[in-house]
Structure 1
């Protein structure tokens, strides 16, 4: 038996859908047929993604070439009986593994969050009987009864509807509840406009209806988004890519230098065992064991700083990636706007009246007015409050009902008109609920021995049934000229991105009189979801920082275009909004299409797949893309983006779980704060990476030069490990806390392809490494030929010279424009705390017998200590002399330029 299936249920009549699904609406499926279909289609549940296992995450920590190199060094150490060195290397691996494990393990929760949207039960007709059953047992062809408050359990085609409205904002981005009807739409209608369809996970906000299930589980629109989330594979962050590249370079450098030194030493007649020990020392010296630790701590500190600015980071690497962001794709509703409908203006026959919602004042031609009870604006306020089912609370959050109806009550209250008082005077006798066919709503009220009819609805519908227009205290006939005038008014307001309602009414002699005939038009009300007050400034900051901001919304093009202009996103010369239906699939785009899409700043009526295409479009051009979102429909794009940013106040759990960053205040300006912090972090990462690698290079040069020169080994592997993990790490972390300069947002984002260490940083690493190695080799010479030391005495003098030189080296990490005693480094109290702590650790290593024995440190005389201290400050003095020369040279050129 073939499977019951309907390809495009929104495009055909309800009866044809029922026939295609082989179901009688009045009886529903039989139990046997439902069981057969359940076996074929499976449970009505979203696919579960298998969680990443703890063991798998742990194993991933060892998939690093640096780890393999350290393991090789450990194996050689144990092979030569150096148990202490072996244990030290293993301890380093354990520390790095623990840090990586705790920061990277994150269960994949997006699918679980999506399943939370599934209704637990549904009211279903089977065998002619209506009963409540588990939503997981629904199958295509089931007849479901829906009511206000239900969360829809499957995708369904309406077969009967009575004033049904559904909140689809999480799925489509549409900010207002959508009215539903049984009437089919064209096959190419976008998801947001398929008025005859109900979608899994959306909530019924009003009315009732019956629908036939057309899709369950992964065959629903929510299931399609689930699949997109699974397919969205975000690349590693720029920082992760750069550190991985740097690690590979270090590995090749280590292997090359180690092999060169070992071969040269053996060729020169050196003992092979000594050469292998030297190779272990070189391997340990070349690897910046402290770099992962310092990078993690710096990122964690940045995460805490962002949290104080209401930005919660999910992944540590996202802290730095924010600083590299070049494009922000942002939703409109609730991100750029307040996600609350407000009346912006009212147009009556008297003129256009602006409404200031903050002060509750009415302005006509810029002058405040008081709405008189019998004036056209007064009558409009009265009927807007009467034809209304919302309830106005003490504050906006306490109000209940349709957002536009709440806004009408606020408007009326500002004019001194309250619904409760009106109902006491005009008791409601009946209501004609909003109907998608008439596109109007009416209420009838007692007015003495007569009745009062209050109507509101879509302007084009209301204007068809009015016969006159309120004008001051009287009326004007609604003739051809008036019709043309009001049509123009509506067109102008709609072009400004406003949502419109017409308000009308009439007196009636009895209840049987048709309500939608011979009406008097009182005016047009224009609503808008106003921009958040902080958005224009934040967008200006983003543009100043060289970041392109692009609005991507499911709302209408006119609304999106208006908001984009009001917040400064677009202006004169910018392209008009691109509508989703005009956006080609990514695979079909020509280069011209791609260029046009990248240049656009507003996209309207886009679906989840198109959001993914836009992200990939910019990523393929080398951009680092941040994407904001709050709904289920945003989850795939949030997953695909380099930085997914979810709204914490109104965002769905799905969006939050798919994101790297959650905004606790839903403010776009918070993103800019986070970008600033990300740039600071990157600058500091570059600073302490330069510091650590120059220290490591000095160690390589010290060991390599000594071995090639036939001198005793100046440093032992364990001593190098001690320096790399103690005296290097704490100053490096202090460098990661340096505050940024004020112009950090005035610079463009760094190119995503730019390496973490550019030419300038490599020059600094080499020059500083040579100077530190030079003074340590000088200490080696003094130990051998001046003080007559040997064995542990030689390595001790080299060890302390190198340790102190690396400590003072932290002051070389300042900008060359700053002097030695007053710089961003010396002003940071963490730097001084780190130096003090490291000096204390070195003192303990010298004075504590167990530690000094493990490190094989020998006592030094006073002259040797004075030489150690004097040599250690030489690299800092050389750097200061070079900086002075550069400053003088700059001043000379500046004078010459005048």
Structure 2
């Protein structure tokens, strides 16, 4: 794969040279390899997307019911059923219209033009015309248009965060690497879609189009099918349950009636009435609207839902797989520790804001700053260290619209910010102490050295007018030093001091800090820096006998809210797993600090993951809390393995590298600010504030939404069971129809309409986030719902039978009897609506008016029912007659027992729970 071969071998294999390809060879290769572009998958036509909204079992049953109603002449019933079905479908279609654009957005990340060498001359061409073997010229700011092997570099650094998730630009080298080098560490390769952050270079194109790293991502996205959400599965399961129950009931009534001597046609009509009573016509629309209301609430909590059924998936989430950079951390390199003058200092302040203190005290993480003494800005040793950090530096810090921003490498910028905290502004220093020459950083030297004129300089700090400042890898800098700055004086560096410094490097590294060492060397007046630039004086001659000035440790710090959010997730039974492109030691240290990595948890790298077969990995996957140095295929493999184990998996991320796993996860969560468009389009949810802590709010909202859906479905189930029992018992016992089909449909529409929507905005119960994730296998209808439905449904049926007997004893007409039963069921369900604000807590402990939407919904429903009973043209449509005050008194007395009985049950259950806790 070219990275493990010498450049001459790469040229030979690709049949090219530094002069590039000629035009004839380019044409041949374009025919052979095709254009350097990403192929789009076939788009789903709009009409197919719309039709897909009507595939559920419940929708199919409702459509059949509407057809049967139309055949039997019940046109109003048929129209109303079809309207509810159409409404649910349109709402779902609107939400999913823009769901599949990931590959189009991948195309926008590729460079439109490229500079190449062809026939020995530089030429700018469209990037689509690149072919393997082209010689590519790269410079700062360029977006790399294809995968390529570096053949020359001039201090080139590439920002690969969009591909690997690593926040620090990668220093590249043209040297051949060992064959077993992991993909993330192949520093002689540059990849399509990444960008040159610093320097320049020359590379030979190795792969183009769909065979590049970005192309493979596009291929992964195209083959991944988004799995159905638990809610979709539950609704289908509920639909099948309702459908089967309906068929059984209809068949039972029809057969029993015919054997009892009733006419077959009458039995068929009664069967249809029962089917209408059993089927919750408005359920799809109500669930959709309920989810929509939940989406609006989640936006206020910084979570934007892209697909409605995904709202409740978070509530069932068992594991959150999260990227580190920019998600758990701030994506801003920050100096946190300094070793100078034999002492460790803590540096306060986060990000690029140059405000902070230098504190002398305990270096242990998490220690309070109480008791730490502040080091003054004019401390000689600290000032020399930070002066070198700012002058031997090509980054800058500036303020724009009240926000501090940087240019250049983030690691170098962190040094500039630290110097600014001590009052050393880089822009002023560059003018005051001009750079006369430099030895640039290279992958071989692992250091950078500048020569600065200090004619009007720091006086007693450094007496010389010309000083060389170096920064780089600790082992390189320390190896070049023979002296050390201690207490403002230059002294000989002893072996013991070197050992102490080396130990301190390890200590800082173990704290997940990236460590950089700094040194300086004063020169005599006669020294000529220009001779260094021209090569007359070798670099190694001037980068020796240096004076060690100190160590600086920096990192991308965790978000302040992340630790508390992870703890809340843990309390809620949700495991957090870090998946990052960063190094193992850094990732493990951050994970341990955040509470992700526990004592017996495992950490795996991408290479270690590759060495495991599927069975070995599946045996370990539940124990792994951190994955480091991974690539897209690894992330996807982790998500798939966890899902195979039966877990509901959420994946957070912001880069292109996260897109396949985001799409494959049950819940893909993209970052709204730093996230790429590709990751957003592949996700189910977007965090608008990029804050991991917002996931906790979203989880709580998701759990509450599902709780509310179950409650209002249970509420509706009692009405449907009650109606079925009333019709079934009265038909078989009295041979009369207690409710007409249009009345049953009206009951279903108004009881399954406004009250459930009001119930969907019920706030979370106390302790909701202390519960474990729900079992997705249990579905919407469990033993709890069946018992509640049968119990309260049976109670409503008993109320109707009492009313029936009382009406018959008083010689009421069939129309009045039907009106009274009709009204009783509606009012009983209004009392029942207050029951299902919570299945645990009394409505009086919650407060009658804490859910004002429900109060308004019940009052509106009552007014509508009064209109049906008393408005003449509605009386005609619904076959109703006016009721007297005494009749209303009987109806309300019976209906109120629905609320009273449930309050008694809740009270007894609360007493039982209290007794159990006291016993324990």
- Is this contact kept in 1: 2:99–2:306, CA < 8 A? no
- Which of 260, 263, 266 is equivalent to 1:271? 263
Residues in 2 aligned to 1:583 and 1:786: alpha-carbon distance in whole angstroms: 80
- Which of 357, 363, 367 is equivalent to 1:361? 357
Residue number in structure 2 paired with 1:5: none
- Is this contact kept in 1: 2:159–2:196, CA < 8 A? yes
- Which of 388, 396, 407 is equivalent to 1:383? 388
Residue number in structure 2 paired with 1:310: 302
Residue number in structure 1 paired with 2:563: 536
Residues in 1 aligned to 2:914 and 2:184: alpha-carbon distance in whole angstroms: 64
Q: 1:488 to 1:288 in 2, by over 3 A?
A: same
Relative to structure 2, which stretch is displaced further, 647-656 or 414-423? 414-423
- Is this contact kept in 1: 2:648–2:666, CA < 8 A? yes
Matches within 5 A, 1:495-506: 495-506=510-521
Matches within 5 A, 1:233-312: 233-312=225-304
Residue number in structure 1 paired with 2:413: 406
Residues in 1 aligned to 2:37 and 2:64: alpha-carbon distance in whole angstroms: 49
Residues in 1 aligned to 2:912 and 2:165: alpha-carbon distance in whole angstroms: 59
Residue number in structure 1 paired with 2:205: 213
Relative to structure 2, which stretch is displaced further, 62-71 or 47-56? 62-71
- Which of 18, 21, 27 is equivalent to 1:25? 18
Q: 1:822 to 1:589 in 2, by over 3 A?
A: closer
Please report how far the alpha carbon of residue 684 of structure 1 lies from its aligned counterpart in structure 2 after TM superposition. Answer: 1.0
Q: CA-to-partner distance for each residue in 1:22-68, whole Å, 9 max, x for gaps? A: 11321x22222212211222221112123322211222233233233
Please report how far the alpha carbon of residue 586 of structure 1 lies from its aligned counterpart in structure 2 after TM superposition. Answer: 6.8
Q: CA-to-partner distance for each residue in 1:489-536, whole Å, 9 max, x for gaps? A: 222222221111111121232223443222222111111111111112
Q: 1:105 to 1:723 in 2, by over 3 A?
A: farther
- Which of 544, 551, 556 is equivalent to 1:524? 551
Relative to structure 2, which stretch is displaced further, 90-99 or 602-611? 90-99
Matches within 5 A, 1:198-597: 198-357=190-349, 360-365=356-361, 366-372=372-378, 375-394=380-399, 397-448=404-455, 451-508=466-523, 509-511=527-529, 512=531, 513=537, 514=539, 515-571=542-598, 573-575=599-601, 577-584=603-610, 587-590=613-616, 593-597=617-621
Q: 1:89 to 1:16 in 2, by over 3 A?
A: same
Residue number in structure 1 paired with 2:366: none
Residues in 1 aligned to 2:917 and 2:391: alpha-carbon distance in whole angstroms: 76
Residues in 2 aligned to 1:465 and 1:70: alpha-carbon distance in whole angstroms: 82
Residues in 1 aligned to 2:52 and 2:750: alpha-carbon distance in whole angstroms: 26
Residues in 1 aligned to 2:314 and 2:765: alpha-carbon distance in whole angstroms: 18
Residues in 1 aligned to 2:332 and 2:143: alpha-carbon distance in whole angstroms: 22
SS in structure 1 of the partner of residue 554 of structure 2: strand
Q: 1:305 to 1:476 in 2, by over 3 A?
A: same
- Is this contact kept in 1: 2:161–2:167, CA < 8 A? yes
- Which of 6, 16, 27 is equivalent to 2:9? 16
SS in structure 2 of the partner of residue 753 of structure 1: helix
- Is this contact kept in 2: 1:450–1:510, CA < 8 A? no
Please report how far the alpha carbon of residue 797 of structure 1 lies from its aligned counterpart in structure 2 after TM superposition. Answer: 2.7
Residues in 2 aligned to 1:40 and 1:725: alpha-carbon distance in whole angstroms: 63
Q: 1:586 to 1:282 in 2, by over 3 A?
A: farther
Q: 1:859 to 1:351 in 2, by over 3 A?
A: closer
Residues in 1 aligned to 2:843 and 2:482: alpha-carbon distance in whole angstroms: 85
- Is this contact kept in 2: 1:723–1:803, CA < 8 A? yes
Please report how far the alpha carbon of residue 799 of structure 1 lies from its aligned counterpart in structure 2 after TM superposition. Answer: 1.5
- Is this contact kept in 1: 2:29–2:131, CA < 8 A? yes
Please report how far the alpha carbon of residue 891 of structure 1 lies from its aligned counterpart in structure 2 after TM superposition. Answer: 7.9
Relative to structure 2, which stretch is displaced further, 78-87 or 264-273? 78-87
- Is this contact kept in 2: 1:49–1:108, CA < 8 A? no
Residues in 1 aligned to 2:651 and 2:100: alpha-carbon distance in whole angstroms: 19
SS in structure 2 of the partner of residue 95 of structure 1: helix
Matches within 5 A, 1:622-641: 622-641=646-665
RMSD between aligned residues: 2.4
SS in structure 1 of the partner of residue 496 of structure 2: helix
Residue number in structure 2 paired with 1:803: 826
Residue number in structure 2 paired with 1:189: 181
Q: Taking structure 2 as the reference length, what is the TM-score of the superposition?
A: 0.92
Residues in 1 aligned to 2:621 and 2:911: alpha-carbon distance in whole angstroms: 50
- Is this contact kept in 1: 2:143–2:194, CA < 8 A? yes
- Is this contact kept in 1: 2:221–2:659, CA < 8 A? yes
Matched residue pairs, number?
Answer: 884
Residue number in structure 2 paired with 1:813: 836
Relative to structure 2, which stretch is displaced further, 95-104 or 730-739? 95-104
SS in structure 1 of the partner of residue 506 of structure 2: helix
Q: Taking structure 1 as the reference length, what is the TM-score of the superposition?
A: 0.94
Residues in 2 aligned to 1:582 and 1:48: alpha-carbon distance in whole angstroms: 33
Please report how far the alpha carbon of residue 186 of structure 1 lies from its aligned counterpart in structure 2 after TM superposition. Answer: 1.9
Please report how far the alpha carbon of residue 420 of structure 1 lies from its aligned counterpart in structure 2 after TM superposition. Answer: 3.5
SS in structure 2 of the partner of residue 61 of structure 1: helix
Residues in 2 aligned to 1:804 and 1:118: alpha-carbon distance in whole angstroms: 63
Residue number in structure 1 paired with 2:459: none
- Which of 91, 101, 114 is equivalent to 1:99? 91
Give yes or no for the alignment of 1:769 onto 2:793. Answer: yes
Q: CA-to-partner distance for each residue in 1:189-237, whole Å, 9 max, x for gaps? A: 2222111111000011111111111111110011111222223333211
Q: CA-to-partner distance for each residue in 1:623-676, whole Å, 9 max, x for gaps? A: 211111111111111111111111111111111111111111111111111111
- Is this contact kept in 1: 2:581–2:629, CA < 8 A? yes
Please report how far the alpha carbon of residue 595 of structure 1 lies from its aligned counterpart in structure 2 after TM superposition. Answer: 4.0
Residue number in structure 1 paired with 2:51: 59
- Is this contact kept in 2: 1:37–1:140, CA < 8 A? yes
SS in structure 2 of the partner of residue 159 of structure 1: strand
Please report how far the alpha carbon of residue 150 of structure 1 lies from its aligned counterpart in structure 2 after TM superposition. Answer: 0.7
- Is this contact kept in 2: 1:353–1:363, CA < 8 A? yes
Please report how far the alpha carbon of residue 864 of structure 1 lies from its aligned counterpart in structure 2 after TM superposition. Answer: 4.2
Residue number in structure 2 paired with 1:3: none
Residue number in structure 1 paired with 2:635: 611
Residue number in structure 2 paired with 1:109: 101
Uncovered stretches (5+) of structure 2, i.e. residues with no partner: 362-371, 456-463, 532-536
Residues in 2 aligned to 1:371 and 1:382: alpha-carbon distance in whole angstroms: 12
- Is this contact kept in 1: 2:765–2:838, CA < 8 A? no
Q: 1:24 to 1:738 in 2, by over 3 A?
A: same
- Is this contact kept in 2: 1:728–1:807, CA < 8 A? no
Relative to structure 2, which stretch is displaced further, 304-313 or 407-416? 407-416
SS in structure 2 of the partner of residue 430 of structure 1: strand
- Which of 819, 839, 850 is equivalent to 2:862? 839
Residues in 2 aligned to 1:611 and 1:201: alpha-carbon distance in whole angstroms: 19
Give yes or no for the alignment of 1:653 onto 2:677. Answer: yes
Please report how far the alpha carbon of residue 355 of structure 1 lies from its aligned counterpart in structure 2 after TM superposition. Answer: 1.8
Please report how far the alpha carbon of residue 824 of structure 1 lies from its aligned counterpart in structure 2 after TM superposition. Answer: 5.5
Residue number in structure 2 paired with 1:853: 876
Please report how far the alpha carbon of residue 871 of structure 1 lies from its aligned counterpart in structure 2 after TM superposition. Answer: 3.2
Give yes or no for the alignment of 1:760 onto 2:784. Answer: yes
Residues in 1 aligned to 2:30 and 2:886: alpha-carbon distance in whole angstroms: 89
Uncovered stretches (5+) of structure 1, i.e. residues with no partner: 1-7
Q: CA-to-partner distance for each residue in 1:827-864, whole Å, 9 max, x for gaps? A: 42222111110011112222333333222223445554
Residues in 2 aligned to 1:702 and 1:386: alpha-carbon distance in whole angstroms: 88
Residues in 2 aligned to 1:81 and 1:361: alpha-carbon distance in whole angstroms: 83
Q: 1:500 to 1:706 in 2, by over 3 A?
A: same
Residues in 1 aligned to 2:900 and 2:420: alpha-carbon distance in whole angstroms: 75
- Which of 843, 847, 852 is equivalent to 1:829? 852
